């Protein structure tokens, strides 16, 4: 960040009084600009034991497969974000079942949340940000063509739980690659 979004003055990086982290502080209007992690929220959407994946039409990960997910918007709940993203990327309607995985990714300042969800019908397709969407059995998952480590973590945990007969909650922190 270079300029204050309140008054346009050039910001400086310093630790405000009583704080512990360096912040972008505006020397003109005094505004302290806090930067915090972003939430990325998505679904493991099931239909008859198969999982919905989207092949990305945008970077990062163009051409690779991923769980439908995206940045949470202001004014929505986490479950609403998961349903909205699944609608936007896979034109699919889902019922949320259970919060399934939380993945912290400190080096890119993101937290990824995934819900287990059920497709309401088999009516889905590629949204604006997808090249194609498809249902996969476990043995069909293109593991070497999955875009994000959080998706891989989530899918592995999902299939592990499914084999064990009970779904739990899974948490992980991803180190830098």
In the complex, which residues of this chain contact Zn ion (CB under 5 A)?
4, 6-7, 9, 26, 28-29, 31
Minimum CB separation of residue 1 from Zn ion in Å reads 11
Minimum CB separation of residue 112 from Zn ion in Å reads 33
**DSSP at 120:** S
6 or 98: CB nearest Zn ion: 6
22 or 125: CB nearest Zn ion: 22
Minimum CB separation of residue 28 from Zn ion in Å reads 5
Minimum CB separation of residue 10 from Zn ion in Å reads 9
Place of tokens 């992690």: 37
27 or 37: CB nearest Zn ion: 27
Beta bridge partners of 102: 113, 171
4 or 67: CB nearest Zn ion: 4
Residue 168: alpha-carbon gap to chain centroid: 19
Structure-token pair, residue 82: 């998961």
Distance CA 23, CA 35 (A): 8
Minimum CB separation of residue 23 from Zn ion in Å reads 13
φ/ψ of residue 60, rounded to 5: -75, 155
Minimum CB separation of residue 3 from Zn ion in Å reads 8
Place of tokens 């899918």: 155
Please choose, from the candidates 81, 86, 82, 80, the residue with its C-alpha nearest in 3D space to the C-alpha of residue 52.
86
26 or 54: CB nearest Zn ion: 26
What is the separation, in whole angstroms, between the first and last Cα of the chain? 25
33 or 50: CB nearest Zn ion: 33
Distance CA 114, CA 61 (A): 18
């Amino acid at each position: 960040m270079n300029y204050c979004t309140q008054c346009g003055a050039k910001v400086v990086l310093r630790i405000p009084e009583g704080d512990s982290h360096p912040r972008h502080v505006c020397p003109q209007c005094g505004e302290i600009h806090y930067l915090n992690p972003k939430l990325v929220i998505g679904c493991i959407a099931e239909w008859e034991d198969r999982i919905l994946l989207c092949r990305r039409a945008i970077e990062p990960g163009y051409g690779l497969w991923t769980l439908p997910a995206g940045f949470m918007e202001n004014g929505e709940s986490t479950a609403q974000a998961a349903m909205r993203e699944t609608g936007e990327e896979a034109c699919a309607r889902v019922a949320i079942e259970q919060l399934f995985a939380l993945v912290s990714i400190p080096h890119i300042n993101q937290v990824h949340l995934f819900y287990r969800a059920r497709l309401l019908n088999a009516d889905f397709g590629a949204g604006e940000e997808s090249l194609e969407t498809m249902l996969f059995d476990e043995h069909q998952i293109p593991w070497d063509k999955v875009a994000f480590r959080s998706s891989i973590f989530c899918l592995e945990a999902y299939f592990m739980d499914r084999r064990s007969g009970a779904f739990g909650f899974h948490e992980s922190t991803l180190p830098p690659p």
